[in-house]
Structure 1
Amino acid sequence: HAPNALVLTVAKGETARTATPLRAVTLTCAPTPGGTHPAPEAACAELRAVDGRFSALRGDQDRACIKIYDPLVVTAEGVWEGQRVRYERTFGNSCTLQTEAGPVFSF
C-alpha cells in the first residue's frame, strides 16, 4: 500500500489563511482506516470512490440548505496514495459543507 496520511481542518471564514480553525483531525486509509477522524472507514471509502480527488466529493445531494452565508473553509494536507495533496475549499455554511463534501469533513 502507498502511504496515506492526511490532516483535515474546518475553519470559520473565507480562506484558510485568515480563518479561525474550529476543528482538525488526522485520517489514514492504508493499510487500515484510522486516525482521530470520528468515522475513518466512511471517510476513506468516500476518498477511494473519487480516487482521492477532494474536489469530486459528493455528500447528501438531496438535502436542502438555507441560504444564510456563514462561510466555512476546509483544508486537507498530506499524502494520498503516495502523492502530496493540498486542498482548500470554502462553503457557504455548515449545511452546504455536509451536502457537498460528505463524511470526509464530518467531524
Structure 2
Amino acid sequence: MSSIHRSTSDSTLALDSLPLHLPPELLKARLAGLIRASAKQGAAAVAETVVRHFQALSLHPQLAADLDERAAYCRGARHWRGLAALGEVSASHRVGSVPAGAV
C-alpha cells in the first residue's frame, strides 16, 4: 500500500485532511474568504489551506455530476499548490541571506 502524504506540494492526496464533511456552499464561502485573506497576508501564507478547500470541492460527492466544475476546482488547487511552492522557495532564499546593499 502506498503511503499518503499530507503535503499539498505532493500529488498524493490525504483525504482525512480535507473538509469533505462540509457542504459545498460553506466550502465555497470559506474559499472566497481565504483568497481575500491572501491579499493581506500573502498568498503563500494561506495557500495550503486554499489547496485543501479546492481539493475538497473537486472530490465532494454533492458535486460529482458536474465534471466541468470539478475540473475547475482541480485547476484552482494546482494553481495554489504552485503558489505554496513559490512561497517555500522564497522563504528558503531569505534565510541567512544578506539584503542587497547591506554590506
TM-score by length of 1: 0.30
Please tell me whether Structure 1 or Structure 2 has the larger radius of gyration of its CA atoms: 2
Which protein is richer in helix relative to its size?
2
TM-score by length of 2: 0.31
Which protein is richer in strand relative to its size?
1
